[in-house]
Structure 1
Amino acid sequence: MTAYAVGYFEEVEAGPEIAAYLEAIDATLAPFDGRFLIHGGDKNVLEGEWPGDLVVIGFPDMISTRAWYESPAYGRILALRLNKAKGAVILIEGVGEDHRATDILVR
């Protein structure tokens, strides 16, 4: 099942550390078949407030997602982001193509 690393960042202090993080992250994703699906960008807020930016990185499965996040390569650059960005990051499984909204009622 496809899985995702999702980050919601309310504050990011641009500068050399964030630039170094962005320059290095793609190489950490490649061994785990990770790729950016959403990386900030223009948004159209329809309900509520959304003061931050969203980042979604897709992986083939949760094992790959967790292996990337816990990898030595990502660990070497993680502090660059943690020191300059405030937000939350989660790892979450996706749903299959046959998923229906009511499927969550069966849990």
Structure 2
Amino acid sequence: MTTQDKTAKAYAVALLHDVEMGPGIVAYLEGIDETLAPFGGRFIIHGGPVTELEGTWTGDLIVIEFPDRAAAEGWYDSPAYKAIVPLRTGYSNGVAILIDGVGEGHAATDILG
């Protein structure tokens, strides 16, 4: 069981595979930044080279930071983002989630109870 710090940042995380770099994805990339701005969202990871330490890595990792969970949910549910999300989902496969960060001072054992 975990207890989340209500002041912690939140993250939109996606692991995408089989991305078709065509007009649909280009339009998505050209439109996403303006959907993030009203919610304080910013990319902190957007694909890029990885160094495999254990196992085999496939896909592209995307992490967008928000000030809190409410901002992350507001962005994902916004009409502006809903208008472009089919451009991503129609031309890539993967999973996308919203997840809370941990507060300052978090220790690994905090999840134990």
User: Partner residue of 2:17?
Assistant: 10
Give the unaligned 5+ runs of structure 1: none
Q: What is the SS of the residue equivalent to 2:99?
A: strand
Give the unaligned 5+ runs of structure 2: 1-7
Q: What is the SS of the residue equivalent to 2:74?
A: helix
1:1-107 matches, within 5 Å, as 1-106=8-113
Identity of aligned residues (%): 58
**Runs of 4 or more above 4 Å deviation:** none
Give 1:5's aligned amino acid. Answer: A
Q: What is the SS of the residue equivalent to 2:21?
A: coil
TM-score by length of 1: 0.97
Bigger proportion of residues as strand: 1
Q: What is the SS of the residue equivalent to 2:18?
A: strand
Counterpart-to-counterpart distance in 2, 1:11 and 1:91: 21
Counterpart-to-counterpart distance in 2, 1:46 and 1:13: 27
TM-score by length of 2: 0.92
Q: Over the residues paired in the alignment, what is the CA RMSD in angstroms? A: 0.5
